[in-house]
Structure 1
Amino acid sequence: MYLEHVNLVVADIDAMLHFYRAVFPHWRIRDEGHGSWYGKPRKWLHFGDDYHYLALSDHGEGENRDLAGHSVGFAHFAYVTNNLDAVIARLQDAGYAIAKPGAEDPYRKNIYFVDPAGFEVEFVEYLSDLPAERNLNLEKARKEVL
């Protein structure tokens, strides 16, 4: 089993495509159309590859949740990459700033960006093939040693 897609309701699909095309230059618009959602017209599209995609709908209203707050809602989602530096460079070249740095860790590198709809996206590069190292909680391990 694997996650096939995430459905994001946004206000501006073109802005989202600009961001995610920088992240995934090999992805394409798989399908798109128009319809309505509970009486409100919307445009929708699926942006991805043959196995994974983002479903985007443009009928969003208002602001996304405050990422620094404690509201119930979507916190972030993450993508694994083989080359974190290349993802960072593509996003920065497209005009996006790093939202927050990742943790210092010998087995992985990570970074956070916020997309145009206000969703926080983490990008992770693993530096180990061993699941025990990749999934190690360093803070917890340090406390257990002490």
Structure 2
Amino acid sequence: MFLEHVNLVVDDLEKVLHFYRAAFPHWKIRTSGEGEWYGKPRKWVHFGDDYHYIAFSDHGEGSNRKIAGHQVGLAHFAYVVQDLASVVERLAQAGYQIDKQGENHPFRRNVYFIDPAGFEVEFVQYLSDLPEERNSH
């Protein structure tokens, strides 16, 4: 079992694609289109690789939930990466800074970024193949 895609509503496709292209340079727009969502026109893209992607639609209004708040909604989503330092470097070169560091852990490194749409994205690199080590607190 694996998560194939997440569908995120944003207000600016180009800004959000700039962030995810820096994080995942091997991803591409798999497909795109235009349509209507409950009476409002929208553009959409599926950005990813052959197995996973993020569906983005540009008809968003208002602000995302406050990360430090207590509103119901998405807190964050995470990607496992092979080389965390490279992801951080690519994002820094594209103008994005780490929002917060993960906890100090002997078997994983992780950081959190806020994408241009206000979603918190975690990137984690595991330093062990053993689930009991990777998942320990």
Partner residue in 2 for 1:19:
19
Partner residue in 2 for 1:99:
99
Partner residue in 1 for 2:88:
88
The answer on 1:6 being equivalent to 2:32 is no
Which amino acid counterpart does residue 60 of structure 2 have in structure 1?
A: G
**What residue ranges of structure 2 are gaps of 5+ in the alignment?**
none
Q: How does 1:49-60 map to 2 (within 5 A)?
A: 49-60=49-60
1-side partners of 2:16 and 2:66: how far apart?
19
CA deviation map 1:52-109 (0-9, x unaligned): 0000000000000010000000000000001000000000000001100110000000
Q: What's the offset of the Cα at 1:13? A: 0.4
2-side partners of 1:80 and 1:2: how far apart?
13
2-side partners of 1:59 and 1:124: how far apart?
30
Cα RMSD, aligned residues only:
0.4
1-side partners of 2:13 and 2:96: how far apart?
16
Partner residue in 1 for 2:39:
39
- TM-score in terms of structure 2 length: 0.99
**Structure with more of its chain in helix, by fraction:** 1
2-side partners of 1:117 and 1:131: how far apart?
33
Q: How many residue pairs were aligned?
A: 137
Q: Which structure has the greater CA radius of gyration?
A: 1
SS of the residue aligned with 1:71? coil
Which amino acid counterpart does residue 34 of structure 2 have in structure 1?
A: H
The answer on 1:115 being equivalent to 2:136 is no
Which amino acid counterpart does residue 55 of structure 2 have in structure 1?
A: A
Partner residue in 1 for 2:65:
65
Identity of aligned residues (%): 69
**What residue ranges of structure 1 are gaps of 5+ in the alignment?**
138-146
Q: What's the offset of the Cα at 1:36? A: 0.2
1-side partners of 2:66 and 2:106: how far apart?
31
Question: Following TM superposition, where does structure 1 have runs of at least 4 consecutive aligned residues deviating by more than 3 angstroms?
Answer: none
